[in-house]
Structure 1
Amino acid sequence: MTVLEIVKYPAEILETKTKEVTKFDRNLHKLLDDMMETMIAADGVGIAAPQVGQSIRAAIVDIGEGDPPIELINPVITAVGGEDVDLEGCLSFPDLYGEVKRPFFVRVEAQERDGSLYELEAESFEARAIMHEIDHLDGILFNKKISRIVDASEFEELDEELVQLEKDGEGIE
């Protein structure tokens, strides 16, 4: 696996709607593996193909709660519900953090790396990460959705608090 270069804003590919994946072959598998490696190296929870220079509908989300990473190929949001405002960051905007309003719940239809269809439901942080990555596939960037910019130190403090809660066994609800 290879760590790829992450495309930074204002690169045009980040604001371009991606093309549907039609070939579920070794090249796609390698790209997904490299995207995962890149996301881990960058300490991210999600990455979309445009962020590594590929204009196709493929993304990965891994919020690190013991579940396997979610590979989203040709995802379509079929339902949303509720409302949630929380902090977000983005690998393509390394020094920008802000509050973004998104639905609390999402249902998505997507394909696996072998082309088989599946349906996924997610809530809270996982739903937020999935919708953030699907936005990337539609050329929509989170900087346009920020209601309040947050200082990086505030974002890091919250991250440290969440890590401590997990260590204390309190988890995140």
Structure 2
Amino acid sequence: MAVRDILTFDDKVLHTQCERINVIDDDVLSIIQDLKDTLYAGTGIGLAAPQIGILKRVILIDLRQGDEPVIIINPKIIAQSGKEKDCEGCLSYPGYYGIVERPKKVTVIGKNIDGKKVIYKASGLLARALCHEIDHLDGIVYTDRTKEVYSEDEEE
């Protein structure tokens, strides 16, 4: 439908809790299409609705490994285990990154675009991306979880 502008840095929308989606209608499907169009116009692997200015609980992740993209409406982490630190960036903080501690494994439930319950048991990059995007739905950005943010131009 449309490539939307991605909100950046300290836009107040990025720090606002999103509303649950109660009905999956044409408006919600339009939001999902806009998330896809916007993500695929850039270089990221995930996008959450508040990053395009929509305070609804929906995320899109595409690790671009030949699998279908992960689209979850009202995602919720119901289990997690382990911890690992790794570098993260964000389309809302272009050119910056930081080291963030996340769970090694997560189990996430939600709904797909057909309104059916989905469960993702994830580890590695998908687990990290799920945590990152779900944080966006709760008004949390990765810079809230790191001690230092680095510019791509800086040397550590």
Taking structure 2 as the reference length, the TM-score comes to 0.94
Identity among equivalent pairs (%): 37
What is the deviation of 1:31?
A: 1.1
- Greater CA drift, 27-36 or 48-57: 27-36
The code of the aligned residue for 1:111 comes to K
The answer on whether the counterparts of 1:99 and 1:150 sit within 8 Å (CA) in structure 2 is no
What is the deviation of 1:150?
A: 3.7
| Structure number with higher helix proportion | 1
The residue number in structure 1 matching 2:91 is 91
Matches of 2:119 and 2:17, distance apart in 1: 22
What is the deviation of 1:149?
A: 3.1
Q: Deviations over 1:98-149 (max 9, x none)?
A: 1111001010011011211111111011100010000000011100111343
What is the deviation of 1:70?
A: 0.3
Matches of 2:11 and 2:147, distance apart in 1: 23
What is the deviation of 1:154?
A: 8.0
Larger CA Rg, structure 1 vs 2: 1
Taking structure 1 as the reference length, the TM-score comes to 0.85
The code of the aligned residue for 2:114 comes to D
Matches of 1:84 and 1:51, distance apart in 2: 25
Check if 1:38 corresponds to 2:38.
yes
The residue number in structure 2 matching 1:105 is 105
Aligned length: 155
Q: Give the 3 Å change call, closer, same or farther, for CA 44–53 of structure 1 in structure 2.
A: same
The answer on whether the counterparts of 1:84 and 1:124 sit within 8 Å (CA) in structure 2 is no
